[in-house]
Amino acid sequence: MKQPSPRGEAGALLLAVIGGTGGSGREDLARLDAVVEAAVARTPDILHDDDLQLTLFCLYELHYSGIDGVVDDWEWDLQLLGVRQRIEAAFEARVRAEAVVGALPEATSEAVCAELFRLTGEDSGPSMSRFVAKTATHDQLREFLVHRSISQLREADPHTWAIPRLAGRAKAALVEIQADEYGNGLLARMHSSLFARTMRELGMDDAYGAYLDAAPAITLASNNLMSLFGLNRRLRGAIVGHLAAYEMTSSLPNRLYSRGFARHGYGDAATGYFDEHVEADAVHEQIAGRDMAGGLVESDPQLLPDVLFGAAAALAVDSLMTARIMAAWEEGRSSLRPSEAMAS
């Protein structure tokens, strides 16, 4: 991923240190911890803090595809891991305050699945999919793709971290879902490839992270949430719940997204990504609810609260992101960062 533009002191210092442009190496790295500590202490809401969310995103990216100009050795630097954990602690606390988990069901596959369907079936605010299907302008379609591109161009990767942390029925179910996400071995069928094709059809740059600078903090937070869950073994239940919630809320919205792009005259090359999810996720939701999430809880009942927390957190943060985007569109303005709003 190319280096993004910093959004504050913490991000600027991090990129200077890992990019080799800092003035005093380890001294700057030690200062980064103090800068981040101060930023965490003063932020009114870390979910909407551009500097901290971008800093966390870049720290996580060291575990994914890496950042241009940054050597791989930074991935396991102990001081950087400490900085990451400082942001993560505040981020997780804020998400836990936002996510609402009701009374716990029995620790059985059917009970867990039923609770997840109940949780994901609740009305959580304005519907972006219905807006895209019926109302969205062409520019808004492009903005929609910008927001989604932060995760969809590496679709499935954050959840894949869970594979070696599961066993038995839950692991088999996760692998089945992920195999579909990765196109069952066919590059052209990988969901990330299908999404890239949609972007190209709309004349957009399909390089991973090309629009990172345009994405607001809450969009980065939605992505950082997956990495938080996926990269911390203690939160393996949460990443399973997160994926289950995604699969259970995917089929109908993607049908509507496809309709919105078709309404603007786009054909299969643009709608193929969404059409694929209509069918695939109708199957995945059952596997995710019963076999993956339910199977995990049956094998380890202590993970039940974490599974439901992961699902509730996914819904809560995505609801905040949707509300921000929809508020901008309803007011006739761009949902992207002001200086990065896309030209027609």
pLDDT at 275 over 70: yes
Of 253, 251, 248, the closest CA to residue 290 belongs to 248
What mean pLDDT comes out for the span 26-42? Answer: 94
What is the radius of gyration, based on Cα positions, of the chain?
20
CB 312 within 8 Å of CB 99: yes
pLDDT at 22 over 90: no
What mean pLDDT comes out for the span 188-211? Answer: 97
Which tens digit of pLDDT belongs to each residue from 218-230?
999 999 999 999 9
Say what the pLDDT of residue 343 is.
Answer: 45
Say what the pLDDT of residue 122 is.
Answer: 79
pLDDT at 341 over 60: no
CB 313 within 8 Å of CB 99: yes
Which tens digit of pLDDT belongs to each residue from 129-162?
999 999 999 999 999 999 999 999 999 999 999 9
What mean pLDDT comes out for the span 76-102? Answer: 97
∠ at Cα 129 (319, 143), nearest 5°?
80
Say what the pLDDT of residue 126 is.
Answer: 78
Say what the pLDDT of residue 344 is.
Answer: 37
More confident residue, 256 or 27: 256
Domains and CATH numbers, the chain: 9-98 (no CATH), 109-340 (1.20.910.10)
What mean pLDDT comes out for the span 190-213? Answer: 98
Percent of the chain with pLDDT strictly greater than 70:
96
Q: Using alpha carbons, list the distances in angstroms from residue 214 to 8, 58, 146, 297, 343.
A: 15, 15, 8, 39, 12
pLDDT at 339 over 60: yes
Handedness of CA 101, 224, 183, 160 (dihedral sign): negative
| 124-133, 182-191, 208-217: least confidently modelled range | 124-133
Which tens digit of pLDDT belongs to each residue from 302-315?
999 999 999 999 99
